[in-house]
Amino acid sequence: MALTKAEMAEKLFDEVGLNKREAKEFVDAFFDVLREALEQGRQVKLSGFGNFDLRRKNQRPGRNPKTGEEIPISARTVVTFRPGQKLKERVEAYAGSGHELCDVKPHVLRYWETEFPSLEPAKRRGNRRYYQRHDVLMVRQIRSLLYEQGYTIGGARLRLDGPDAREESALSNQIIKQESRLEALAVAPPRRRPHGTTADLQAGKELEADVYARRQAAAGAPAGFHLSGPEPAATAGSGMLNLLFVCSRNQLRSPTAEAMWQRRPGISARSAGTSPHARRPISPADIRWADVIFVMEPKHQHRLQANFARLLEHTPLHCLDIPDDYRCMDPALMALLEAKIAPYLTSSMAKR
């Protein structure tokens, strides 16, 4: 795929969080520095990307492609590019590293290839899989259907290959695009966030609500049921046991716990992150709402105690000691959460 300077600026605007003027200036400045260095005969090294260099080609014989007549090709200097290892791994993504793009383990990815006819990555030499963008989107759809929406293999296959396939694909693509946009808004510092939004935080909240409304609709969730996201339906005094799950960025461990326990009778769950760049940063309202708080690591417990000491005086706080070693809603992660959380809840429910 070839990108023009305008397309590169558009990518920066969409995915990094720069506004259009800043993105254009960044691309122009990059090419100016690159051009100046090459004109002076210097090598340009981009960490994690590759090296631009100049190479002298001597005069050599050649042929006119139309007539076949032998002609001399003049000596010239050409720009060469040698991609770095990280760039090679991202471009030539096969099942061993492609799982990182999809948040799925390699052996699971291979199994899905045998179960879903629509998942057919191109194969290169050495039987390596080449995952293009549509393959990655397909894997993410499968992962969402199996891990988040509770489909069986057969049900997910029917959903993707049956009469609802086009609708499911369109919905998943919209969700993925909106989640990427929301992540860019959350991670970018305020001065780097796109102009035209009301403090960007409000835009992010609206976008987040829309994403999760779509996901609930896709999962067929009943009204008031939340897979993960804004404000659960249960309120204080409703007789529900309110559980708050906390990790750093609220991207995997705490949302997984929320999705597991939200389905249990008599329990309402939500998740949040201690990082200001979390998908859903924790707030005092979350602490007041919770009957029990579960944190994934001691550092999360220390952060909460430092920021919300007074609010935590009457709320049980438990550390689960679950490290950040998982890349998806792994059954092993779910089993570990179940084993660590269940004993606490047995005693908590007995006291109510």
Task: Pick 4 or 71 by higher pLDDT.
Answer: 71
Return the percentage of the chain with pLDDT > 90, whole number. 8
Read off the pLDDT band of 140 (50, 70, 90). confident
Q: Take residue 202 and report the two structure tokens written for it.
A: 């409000």
Is residue 199 over pLDDT 70?
no
Is residue 159 over pLDDT 60?
yes
Give the range among 110-124, 153-167, 214-228, 330-344 with minimum mean pLDDT.
214-228
What pLDDT score does 179 carry?
Answer: 52
What pLDDT score does 172 carry?
Answer: 57
Q: Round to whole Å and give the CA distance between 159 and 261.
A: 26
What pLDDT score does 213 carry?
Answer: 52
**pLDDT tens-place string over residues 206-241:** 544 554 455 445 444 433 333 433 333 334 445 788
Give the DSSP H/E element, type plus range, for residue 339: helix 331-351
Is residue 59 over pLDDT 80?
yes
- The rounded mean pLDDT for the chain is 73
Give the range among 62-66, 180-184, 232-236, 315-319 with minimum mean pLDDT.
232-236
The full DSSP string for 238-302 is SS-EEEEEEESSSSSHHHHHHHHHTTSTTEEEEEEESSTTSSSB--HHHHHH-SEEEESSHHHHH
Task: Pick 124 or 319 by higher pLDDT.
Answer: 319
What pLDDT score does 43 carry?
Answer: 79
- 3-class DSSP assignment, residue 158: helix
